[in-house]
Amino acid sequence: MKINRYGQAKVLSQPELELLFASGLQTQRDRTLFGVCLYTACRIAEACTLKTCDIFNSKEVVRSHLVIRRAATKGQLDTRTIPILDDLRLLLIAYQPDAGKTYLFSGQWGRGHLHPDSAARILRTACARVGIEGVSTHSFRRTALTQMSNAGIPLRVIQKISGHRSLTQLSAYLEVQPEQVTGAIASLAMLGGSQSVVKCSFATKTPITA
């Protein structure tokens, strides 16, 4: 968990997400910004630099897919196109009247785009407001990717969404819960009749040779 900006960003639980969006984040812009991070698994810099025209069409209707341009990605690898979920669509519709002319999230005085550092400060204030520790802007990305992994989505598919260069990089983002480890070990019971295996091993008394 991240403490004083050190360590790995916390993966948020469902109750924590609900609390953060209901009471921590207090403007439609902030809820939409971090909703984008959560529902697309994008980086905060990618969310801050989204172009309004890549979200809304000429009739100011939310598009079916969100476009993260190559120039905004880490390492400028590939443009990513991600379907817009209904939950995110509702956030975008509510935010549309306040959307920037060029950038979806305008910077101070309407110039440029919101800076990722400003977004980080907004999030820290929101988390302090509701008493959630260990969170950074990367928490939404880690939460989304971990959720997809837990749902059984193949890593290659998740990698297509996340934009990671390799599966090794992607794996570092995925959190493994203690109950998942317990479940994995418990699954070994499916290998066969454990009692008969134990009885057989004692009954045979096979000599041990060097």
Read off the pLDDT band of 56 (50, 70, 90).
Answer: very high
Instruction: Collapse the DSSP code of 3 into the 3-class scheme (helix H, G, I; strand E, B; otherwise coil) and give the result.
Output: strand
Query: In the beta sheet, which residues pair with residue 57?
Result: none
Residue 41 has what DSSP assignment?
Answer: -
Residue 4 to residues 8, 55, 102, 174, 197: CA-CA distances in angstroms?
11, 34, 34, 21, 51
Mean pLDDT, residues 55-79: 78
Q: Domain 14-145 carries which CATH code?
A: 1.10.443.10
97-101, 112-116, 178-182: lowest mean pLDDT where? 178-182
Read off the pLDDT band of 125 (50, 70, 90).
Answer: very high
Domain ranges of the chain: 14-145
The confidence score (pLDDT) of residue 69 equals: 76
* Nearest to 8, CA basis, from 121, 139, 181: 139
For the chain, the distance separating the N- and C-terminal CA atoms, rounded to the nearest angstrom, is 48
DSSP, residue by residue, 68-119: E-GGGSGGG---EEEE--HHHHHHHHHHGGG--SSBSSB-GGG-SB--HHHH
Mean pLDDT, residues 23-40: 96
Residue pair 29/98 in contact by the 8 Å Cβ criterion: yes
Read off the pLDDT band of 84 (50, 70, 90).
Answer: very high
Q: Which amino acid is at 5?
A: R
The confidence score (pLDDT) of residue 208 equals: 43
**Entry pTM:** 0.77
Distance CA 188, CA 177 (A): 18
35-39, 163-167, 194-198: lowest mean pLDDT where? 194-198
